[in-house]
Amino acid sequence: MSRYDEVLAVLQVIRDHESIHDRGVACNPCETMALAGAIGLEPQEVADRLSDAERRGRMITARKAKGDTEPYFVDIRLTANGRAAVAHAKS
């Protein structure tokens, strides 16, 4: 299981990417491989942190698909819980 601050770091990137609509700059909606590239982590590390975010408090919604990691997430969006966690971490 990932540390909470590691999960929050991934959620922060998702939140930042949600406001950018240029696919050349950021993934929106995000997916595992694009997040891994943006954060500089291995794809499986990102997938594990996303799984933890989903388990810990339903902080994300995402569709699971076949991919390079297990699970492989696509169409990743923050839920109200995810947004609250990121906002609380920044304060």
Q: Taking a C-beta distance cutoff of 8 angstroms, is the pair 44, 35 a contact?
A: no
pLDDT digits (tens, 9 = 90+) for 14-66: 999 988 877 777 888 899 999 999 999 999 999 999 999 999 889 999 999 99
pLDDT at 28: 84
Predicted TM-score of the model (pTM): 0.90
The stretches of the chain forming alpha helices (DSSP H) are: 4-18, 32-39, 43-57, 80-90
Structural domains of the chain ordered from first start = 4-90 (1.10.10.10)
Question: Using CA atoms, how far apart are residues 36 and 24, in angstroms rounded to an integer?
Answer: 15
How many residues are listed for the chain in this entry? 91
